[in-house]
Each structure stands twice: as C-alpha cells, then as structure tokens.
C-alpha cells in the first residue's frame, strides 16, 4: 500500500535535496555576510553585486575566476574520490604540494632541449610522487587500520617541511632571494589561454580529469565498487569486494590527481615552486567535494564558486573599502553550511525511516 506512494515522493525529495544541497549553503552564507555588512554599515546588495562583477563582469574577470578555479578542480576530485569510498583523506594538500615541487623540478632541472616533452615528464613525475605519497597512508589504513584522518593530516606537515627545506636549500634559486626554486624553462610552461589572464591549459586538464572522474564513478567496476564500499563496508566485503584493495586504489588515484593538480599549478600558474605554493587548495577542495556531493557536476559548480570568491576577493578590496574579510566570511560560511547541510539531511533521513 505504501509502496506505490513512497518511491515517487522519495525521488522528488532526493532531487530537491541534491539541488538544495549545493544552493542552500551558498544562500546561508550570503545571509550571514549580509548581517555582517549591515552591522558595519554597508549595503549588502551593492557589495554582492560588486563581488559578482569582479568575478564574472568581463572576459578578463571570468578568466581570472577560472584560473582560480583550476587547482580546485583537481583537489576537489582528489578528495571526492576518497570521500565517496568512505576514506577520509585530508592529505590532498600535501600531495598537491609535493607534486608541484616534482613538476617544477623537472621544469628547471632537465635540459631545455627536451622542449615540450618537459610538460608530460613533469606531469608524470608529479603524479608518481603524489601517488606514492598517498599510497603510504592508504596502505597503513588498509593493512593496519591506522586512522587515515590522522596519518594524512600529519603528512601535510611533512610535505610542507620537506618542500620548505628543499626550496631553501638544495633547490633554492640562485638568482632570486629565498624560498623559491629557479623558474622553469619556457618550453615547460603551459599555454596561457586568454592572455593577459593567468588562465592556462591546466584548466583544460582539470576539466578532463573531472570528466574522467565522472565516467569512472559511473561506468567502471572499480568506480561502482568504491561507492559500495563507501555506502556499507560490511555489505561490500560480503559481496566479494576487497576493502583493502579499494582503499589503496582510491588513495593512489587521489594522489595521482593531486599530483597532476600540483604540476598544473607549478607549470601553468607560478612557473616555479615557492614556499606557500598552495594557499590551502587541498582544504578548499574538501569543501568543494562536500558541497558538490562527490558528483562531477557538483564539483564543477563548487570549484567555480570558490574560484569566483577567490578571484573577486583579491580585487574587491583594491577598488573599494570593503574588507577582504567579507569574502573570507562568505567562503567560511559556505564551508560550514556545506557540512551542516549534510548532517541535517542524514538526520532527516533517519527520522523519516523510523
């Protein structure tokens, strides 16, 4: 009797939830930011339209936004692939950084006579280094049940320490002051798509990775298996899916994607490696993955949103007396509500079932 009615209703609720999940945190953040703006005596509508203008107002601004979006595409996918399998990998930041250094190293250390070949070599080395980087906590989790949250979080500090040492020591550029490697050869640089903006070919690589991720989760046995593992580990092992193998697989893929992201950032954006290479792209990637519910399309919108906030943030304060903090407040609240929203839905579901 109930069976005819529930599926229909549930499906529409599900659809609502999906759209809502992405939009609600954003609007909640706007409300919070409005309150802050009102308190400091600004007109929220004016400020928001200024931010929107700065993010999407012209070809140049759109290019800047997409440029800021680029690393998030990689870190978003790298995080989502693990979260989807129930592996709480928070080490994308570290893997992104070591990958970036690896690619930059190829870019300046190998002879420039290799030409355009430097790009694929740089990407390959970055992917390899970062894959091993995350394979370690993956193996520890799969084999010894060592909490991945702790091990990956700690590895981030190791990554910062090691790369920090290298760029201040063996790999320090002789020409510039400190904390940076030499610039990469020009032939290793990724093409700039819309000069003068910094939007580079890494963006296209990011889109490709995102599409590949979307294909992988739906159309490959391993992708489907990793979702099952994320849904219910006991069930997964009872139907013959190896949990350890799945954990290591998603960690390695996450490492590869993080490394490619680091390479794209080093070869496309900075053209070198510098201390402070990533202003937290790995962590913003977590917010992107959560906001996008681990779907390819969700990650696309999530990273554009955060990219827009980042690119607007830098210029808004140049041209107005609005503090940069207001953009940070919006970013922070979106992140909080992205997480809160997930929790609320889980609670709502549980109630509905009982």
Say if residues 164 and 275 touch (Cβ distance below 8 Å).
yes
Query: Exactly one of 117, 220, 297, 348 binds other proteins (CB under 8 A); which one?
Result: 220
Task: Give me 118's structure tokens.
Answer: 């430097």
d(CA 16, CA 52): 26
Residue 314 found at the interface with other proteins (CB under 8 A): no
Nearer to other proteins, 88 or 132 (CB): 88
Residue 39 found at the interface with other proteins (CB under 8 A): no
Draw the binding track, 163-202, toward other proteins (x: CB under 8 A; -: no contact). Answer: ----------------------------------------
Q: Which stretch binds other proteins (CB under 8 A): 45-53, 179-187, 214-222, 274-282?
A: 214-222
Residues binding other proteins: number (CB under 8 A): 33
Task: Give me 274's structure tokens.
Answer: 């510098």
d(CA 186, CA 179): 21
Output the smallest distance, CB 346 to other proteins, in A.
Answer: 10
Task: Give me 321's structure tokens.
Answer: 């007396």
Nearer to other proteins, 12 or 43 (CB): 12
Residue 13 found at the interface with other proteins (CB under 8 A): no
Output the smallest distance, CB 248 to other proteins, in A.
Answer: 15
Among residues 282, 315, 351, the alpha carbon closest in space to that of 134 is found at 282
In DSSP notation, 189-210 reads SPPBSSTTS--BTHHHHHHHHH
Residue 343 found at the interface with other proteins (CB under 8 A): no
Output the smallest distance, CB 96 to other proteins, in A.
Answer: 28
List contacts with other proteins (CB under 8 A): 1-11, 218-221, 223-225, 227-228, 231-232, 234-242, 349, 353
């Amino acid at each position: 009797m109930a069976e005819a009615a529930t599926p229909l209703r549930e499906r529409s609720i599900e659809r609502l939830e999906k759209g809502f999940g992405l939009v609600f945190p954003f609007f909640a953040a706007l409300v919070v930011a409005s309150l802050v703006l009102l308190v400091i005596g600004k007109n929220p509508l004016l400020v928001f339209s200024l931010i929107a203008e700065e993010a999407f107002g012209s070809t140049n601004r759109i290019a800047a936004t997409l440029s800021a979006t680029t690393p998030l595409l990689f870190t978003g996918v790298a995080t989502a692939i693990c979260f989807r399998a129930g592996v709480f990998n928070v080490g994308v930041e570290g893997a992104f950084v070591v990958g970036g250094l690896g690619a930059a190293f190829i870019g300046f250390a190998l002879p420039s006579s290799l030409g355009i070949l430097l790009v694929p070599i740089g990407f390959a080395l970055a992917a390899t280094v970062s894959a091993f980087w995350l394979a370690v906590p993956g193996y520890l989790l799969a084999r010894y049940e060592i909490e991945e949250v702790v091990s990956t979080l700690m590895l981030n500090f190791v990554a910062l320490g090691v790369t920090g040492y290298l760029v201040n020591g063996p790999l320090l550029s002789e020409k510039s002051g400190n904390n940076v490697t030499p610039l990469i050869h020009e032939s290793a640089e990724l093409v700039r798509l819309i000069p003068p903006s910094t939007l580079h070919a890494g963006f296209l690589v990011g889109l490709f990775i995102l599409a590949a991720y979307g294909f992988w989760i739906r159309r490959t046995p391993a992708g489907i298996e990793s979702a099952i593992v994320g849904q219910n580990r006991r069930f997964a092992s009872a139907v013959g899916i190896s949990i350890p193998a799945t954990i290591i697989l998603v960690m390695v893929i996450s490492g590869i994607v993080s490394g490619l992201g680091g390479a794209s950032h080093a070869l496309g954006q900075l053209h070198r490696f510098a201390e402070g290479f990533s202003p937290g792209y790995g962590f913003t990637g977590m917010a992107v993955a959560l906001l996008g519910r681990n779907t390819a399309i969700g990650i696309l919108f999530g990273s554009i949103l955060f990219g827009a906030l980042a690119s607007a943030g830098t210029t808004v304060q140049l041209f107005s007396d609005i503090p940069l903090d207001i953009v940070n407040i919006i970013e922070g609240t979106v992140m909080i509500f992205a997480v809160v929203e997930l929790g609320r839905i889980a609670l709502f579901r549980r109630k509905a079932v009982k």
